[in-house]
Amino acid sequence: MRPLTMRRVGWVCALLTAILFAVSVMALKLGAVPISVSDLVVSLARVAIGRSAQLPSDYRLIVFDLRLPRILAGALVGAALSVAGAGYQALLRNPLADPYVLGVSSGSALGAILALQLLPQVVLATPIGAFIGAILTITAVYYLGRREGQLDSTTLLLAGIITASFLSAIIMFLMTTLASRDLRGMAFWLMGDLSTPLAPSLRWFFVVALVVGIGAIYTTSADLNLLVTGEREAMHLGVDVTRVKLVVYVAASGLTALAVSASGAIGYVGLLVPHVMRLLFGSDYRLLIPASALAGAIGVVLADTLARTVVAPTELPVGAMTAIAGAPLFIFLLRRSMR
């Protein structure tokens, strides 16, 4: 018997943090203007000691104003979506649950668009609208996915996919008819894109909200291990099922809303990342949550770097890259679960 220890959680997190660092350096280096690692180290060191004025201005623009914020946004979005996916998978006892597949990302995008249209002056309109959209969508999909009072995994997925397609159609309709200057393009909301950076004034809000969201889900991770075996079993083992469900639904929807506000509806991250982490490190949520957060950050930064460089100087939306990797996995898992 090899029970999970804090030491093992620490080692896995340290390893993934090192990989995230390496991937971020690579992402800073690669692009239409290549930058050597030594130049990067020198410029980062100068910024660290407060001598950023000595940097050439084009360097500062490319590294600190363009690439670094984009990497941070990618890491934030990846972490948020992966943890949200892992949370939904436990609550719905469905390995295929993911904010995008369940339609929560589309609901969130619609909420954000409506909030931007109706309350353009409000500072946090986008994330708040996205959050309300996410909560309403997951509630609707949860009730549509029930059959005879029980959650049915196939009905749930169908309900999610149909809801996503319905909400996407409404988004397309709004984007075509509203044509407002403040709204980003249709590709952003439907496919996900990291080319427009986060507003600097909102960066701290996003980071704090991400930590709170992931932290809230992490405090329930031991309960989630039992909840995946069934609500009644979890209750018999002392889990306060109602409280845990509420915390995780709200936190996972909040994380999805954060990700969608920052980058639109990037798909399959919440499916792909927790699944790979389970294969590598097992299904214990006390390890799975931090591992998924870090690996999600790695995954999206990597996917975005590919999206920027594969057909450079043209850019692909990052959601296209994650869908190319994620959709075949979805089909594979679906076929396996039907066997």
Partner 1 sequence: MSASGTSTMQGQDTRGRADDTARLAVEQASYAYSPTRRQIPTFTLTATSFQARQRELVAILGPNASGKSTLLQMIAGSLAPLSGRVLLDGIEIRSLDARTRAQRIAVVQQHAPLVFPARAGEFVLQGRHPYGRKLHLPNSEDVNLARNALAQVGAEHLADRRMDQLSGGEKQRIILARALAQQPLLLLLDEPTLHLDIGAQVELLERLRRLAEENRYTVIVVTHELALAAEFADQVVLLHQGKCLRVGTPAAVYQRDLLEQVFEAPLEVEAGPAGRPRVSLRSRPAGSIGLESGERTRGRST
Q: Taking contact as CB under 8 A, which single stretch among the options 120-128, 177-185, 191-199, 229-237 is the one that binds partner 1?
A: 229-237
Which residue in 80, 109, 226, 306 binds partner 1 (CB under 8 A)?
A: 226
User: What whole-number distance in Å separates Cα of residue 35 and Cα of residue 25?
Assistant: 10
Q: Evaluate whether 230 touches 237 at the Cβ level (below 8 Å).
A: no
221 binds partner 1 (CB under 8 A): yes
336 binds partner 1 (CB under 8 A): no
2 binds partner 1 (CB under 8 A): yes
Crossing angle of the two packed helices 203-219 and 68-91, in degrees rounded to 10:
30
Q: Taking contact as CB under 8 A, which single stretch among the options 19-27, 69-77, 117-125, 234-242 is the one that binds partner 1?
A: 234-242
Q: Taking contact as CB under 8 A, which single stretch among the options 50-58, 89-97, 162-170, 301-309 is the one that binds partner 1?
A: 89-97
What single-letter amino acid sits at 128?
A: I
Q: Strand, coil or helix: what is 207?
A: helix
As measured in angstroms, the least distance from the Cβ of 244 to partner 1 is 10
As measured in angstroms, the least distance from the Cβ of 188 to partner 1 is 34
- Using omega within 30 degrees of 0 as the cis cutoff, is the peptide bond preceding 313 cis? yes
Which residue in 10, 11, 199, 240 binds partner 1 (CB under 8 A)?
A: 240
Q: Taking contact as CB under 8 A, which single stretch among the options 114-122, 136-144, 202-210, 239-247 is the one that binds partner 1?
A: 239-247
As measured in angstroms, the least distance from the Cβ of 11 to partner 1 is 14
Within 10 A of 7 (CB to CB), how many other CB atoms are there? Answer: 8
Which residue in 4, 26, 124, 151 binds partner 1 (CB under 8 A)?
A: 4
154 binds partner 1 (CB under 8 A): no
What phi, psi does 39 have (nearest 5°)?
-60, -40
**x/- site string to partner 1, residues 266 to 295, per CB under 8 A?**
------------x---xxx-x---------
Within 10 A of 166 (CB to CB), how many other CB atoms are there? Answer: 14
Tell the burial category of 244 from Cβ atoms under 10 Å away from its Cβ (0-12, 13-18, 19+): buried
Q: Taking contact as CB under 8 A, which single stretch among the options 68-76, 222-230, 257-265, 325-333 is the one that binds partner 1?
A: 222-230
Non-local (6+) Cβ contacts of 292 within 8 A are 79, 82, 83, 85, 86, 273, 274, 277
Shorter beta-carbon distance to partner 1: residue 8 or 46: 8
For the CA atoms of 43, 263, 198, 26, the dihedral, rounded to the nearest 10 degrees, stands at 0
Binding site for partner 1 (CB under 8 A): 1-6, 89, 93-95, 219, 221-222, 225-226, 228-230, 232-233, 235-241, 278, 282-284, 286
